Chains A and B, each alone.
Chain A
Amino acid sequence: MGAVILLPGVLRADAGDEARLSVAAPGTVRDVLAEIADRWPRLAKRLRDEQGGLRRYVNLYVDGEECRRMSGLETPVPDGAEIQIIPSVAGG
């Protein structure tokens, strides 16, 4: 199987206008971001900086739990997981 990423509308143009992306699983959030970088590099640079860190106002939920509240980039992504990427509340 694998995992499914649900993208917000503002990022879909950076992933071939897709709202849902299928990625390999099981693995970790770091593995998922690495696969994104390989397959959708323009999307990857929106999500993480060049050192691999998740951008401050990007929230990434694995089955409903924000990854920073679990193990960050090492958060497990089980087979069949749903990953939601949601911009946090920021700006003015």
Chain B
Amino acid sequence: MTRLLAIGTEKGLFLATHDGGGWDVQPLQFNVKSVYAVAIDTRGGTPRILVGASSAHWGPSVAISSDLGKTWEEPDDPAITFPDDTGAAVENVWQLTPGPADRPEVVYAGTQPSALFRSDDGGRSFSLVRGLWDHPHRTTWEPGGGGQAIHTILPDPRDDARMVVAMSTGGVYRTTDGGTNWAPGNAGIKAVHVPDPFPEYGQCVHKVARDGADPDRFYAQVHHGVYRSDDGAASWESIAEPLPGDFGFPIVAHPSRPGTIWNFPMIADMDRYPADHRCRVYRSRDAGSSWEALENGLPATPFYPSVLRDAMCVDGGDPAGVYFGAKSGEVFASLDEGDSWETVAAHLPAVLCVRAAVI
């Protein structure tokens, strides 16, 4: 079994593999480009890596490798562009998400400014999903600290017409008709940055994950709040109480086991450090009713860096591999679902995203 880990950083991409021994981290690629989005697409016979890389000078681009990163394909024309009539331009690609298993040509992209794009040619070209762009709420969505972007795209594994997306700020939106109509799905999520604590939309949702076994169950890490939805991301209840902090960015779900999730709690938005200044991942095996701290193999000294929203992931293994990277450039892996951890890499640029797969 080989595990492939893609690490997107503020200044380039690193690929690492694990064949049963240690981790082999390959040299830097995408020199000085911010890699906010990576997808490892295992739906076809040969794994493909899709990268959303952005140069401060030369703009965003999407590149695809079909040989595990040895070579990259980038179309001459930009893969993702807004139509002329929108007057908008892609600032960054925040998310690349493979579509349903039986539609290997379908890939979704989330961008800054907040928009959803769909590709029907494996990620070589994308079209704007008009229904979300034309939503009457869009002009009132506000940028969070990282920008105003669609950072979460969760296609329904049962039905290509159903999908959940999320953004900061704006919150959660759902479609059941292939993207023509979208409804906000934020009931129960508290907003701490506006006078109304429970608005219909506008919440600062940092990341959403879908349960690996129950497609109608979701988990959300919010700007002060951790929540679970049991009704398809329509309404939410808090699962933050047992945690040492309700602030944080990532939340990920086990690829197949119900109710198993991980996050990285921080103290508060005005005190943005890991809870208790310790490097600890928290895991729940009962859908958020109880949590346990995981720190075996993680740094024991005080730890201050953030772990960003896409800088934690799981692979499809059993047991699942769990991975996270910090803004300090350290990357950690657990091949036993969080019971023990090892350092994959250190001294990298700030880690923006990680994605992993068993290949």
Contacts and interface: CB of A to CB of B under 8 A. Distances in A.
Contacts of B88: 51
B81 A55 contact: no
A50 B254 CA distance: 39
Interface residues of B, number: 18
Contacts of A47: 58
B56 interface: yes
Interface in A37-75: 41-42, 45-47, 49-51, 53, 55, 57-58
**B55, B59, B78 pick with most chain A CB within 10 angstroms:** B59
B61 A45 contact: yes
Interface in B107-131: none
A33 to B, nearest CB: 14
Nearest to B32: A91
Contact of B90 (A11, A42, A49, A58): A49
Given A50-B89, A51-B89, A91-B32, A41 B77 contact: yes
B57 interface: yes
Contacts, number: 44
B57 A57 contact: yes
Interface in B59-73: 59, 61
A50 B78 contact: yes
A53 B91 CA distance: 12
Interface of B is mostly: loop
A85 to B, nearest CB: 10
B87 A45 contact: no
Nearest to A11: B58
Interface size class of A (residues with CB under 8 A): 10 to 19
B59 A45 contact: yes
B168 to A, nearest CB: 23
A8 B254 CA distance: 47
Interface string B79-115: 0011010011110000000000000000000000000
Contacts of A53: 89
A51 B57 contact: no
A51 B76 CA distance: 17
A57 B61 contact: no
Interface in A76-92: 87-88, 90-91
Nearest to A58: B57
A50 B81 contact: yes
21 contacts: A42-B74, A45-B59, A45-B78, A46-B55, A46-B57, A47-B58, A49-B90, A50-B81, A50-B82, A50-B90, A51-B84, A53-B89, A55-B57, A55-B58, A55-B59, A57-B56, A58-B57, A58-B58, A90-B56, A90-B57, A91-B32
Interface of A: 11, 41-42, 45-47, 49-51, 53, 55, 57-58, 87-88, 90-91
